Amino acid sequence: MLIAESGATKTEWRYCVDNQVKLGFRTPGFNPNVMSPRQIRQEMAAALETHLTGVSLRELFFYGSGIGGDSQRAIMNTILTDLLPGTRISVEHDLLAAARCAGHAEGVVCIIGTGSNSGYYKGGEVLQSLGGHGYIFGDEGSGADLGKHVIKGLLQDEFPDGVRSFIEMQSGSSIYELKIAVHRDPKPNVRLARLAKYLDEIWHYPEVGDMIRARMLAFLDTTVCRYPDYQTLPVTFYGSISYYFQDFLTEACQQRKVRVVDIRRDPIDQLVAYHLKEKLFS
């Protein structure tokens, strides 16, 4: 059994035999909202050839960002079926993976990584989702969103010179060059999200800290706080931004009276445990 949890930036893979993880590896992310089917097929074929040549595979559970609609799910299912003939394949969105890992009968799961979204779940199924929509129209609080606001703030002289100097030194590019690079990048959301990692070194600038707080609140206001009775529901967060900026996130949750029960970088270990227990194809 192969289990994959894919975001826009990276995919975590776990190959299991006899209820044990025998192989784990990481590849680039695959998101049909920002990648063409041809691009996904080429990159995934290379990844599978590198790591799974000679491996006997009976079933694959693939969870990914950007697979909220039937058309995106069909794209991923077709690609995986072509690359792994004879394998039983299940393709689902990343919110279902998070819900299956949360460990509560009812609640809200949130993913804040390169992108962001949320879902209300009950009985192991996601009944409503809010947020997402990509880095142009949404993804509040995400790595791409933070990166976008860093560049925007620097272009508009909203941050001190020390912030500009640090970003330009770490990236090796001027702010103008970064702006052009984002426009030309085939994965602009990933390019923007890379800038978020620099914030860990400069959040102490009041203007930067305030920006991060504002984007965390924007995420909550457009997602969690719109679910009925959200203040009574357990909320679980996944994703690198949730994890590394959890001080800002928990502060925002306290302001909005959101009941946080867990913050994890990714759900892959819990997801493996779930599938080893449930045996969905049996």
pLDDT in tens, 181-232: 999 998 899 899 999 999 989 999 999 999 999 999 999 999 999 999 999 9
Q: What percent of the chain clears pLDDT 70, i.e. is strictly above it?
A: 99
Under DSSP, the state recorded for 78 is H
Q: How confident is residue 280, by pLDDT bands cut at 50, 70 and 90?
A: low
Structure tokens that stand for 189 in this block? 């959301």
Band (pLDDT 50/70/90 cuts) for residue 46 is very high
Q: Which CATH superfamily is domain 2-97+268-278 in?
A: ATPase, nucleotide binding domain (3.30.420.40)
Q: Which residue has the tokens 């800290």?
A: 209
237: left (phi over 0), alpha (psi -120 to 50) or beta: beta
What pLDDT is stored for residue 14 in this prediction? Answer: 94
Among 125-129, 174-178, 190-194, 276-280, the range scoring the smallest mean pLDDT is 276-280
Q: What percent of the chain clears pLDDT 90, i.e. is strictly above it?
A: 68
CA–CA distance from 23 to each of 4, 43, 53, 114 (Å)?
Answer: 12, 20, 12, 25
Whether 281 has a pLDDT exceeding 60, the answer reads no
Per-chain mean pLDDT for the chain: 91
For the beta carbon of residue 147, count every other beta carbon within 10 angstroms. Answer: 26
151 touches 166 (CB < 8 A): no
- Residue 37: pLDDT band (50, 70, 90) is very high
**pLDDT tier for residue 282 given thresholds of 50, 70 and 90:** very low
Q: How confident is the model at residue 70 (pLDDT cuts 50, 70, 90)?
A: confident
| Domain boundaries defined on the chain | 2-97+268-278
Answer yes or no: are the C-beta atoms of 23 and 272 closer than 8 Å: no
Task: Please check the confidence at residue 244 and state whether its pLDDT lies above 90.
Answer: yes
User: What average pLDDT does this structure show over 37-59?
Assistant: 89
| 12-27 per-position pLDDT tens digit | 999 998 888 888 999 9
Instruction: Give residue 259's pLDDT band: very low, low, confident or very high (50, 70, 90).
Output: very high
For residue 279, the model assigns a pLDDT of: 66
Q: Are 52 and 113 in contact (CB under 8 A)?
A: no
Query: Quick one: which of 184, 137, 186 has its CA closest to 36?
Result: 186
Does 133 have pLDDT greater than 90?
Answer: no
| pTM given for the model | 0.88
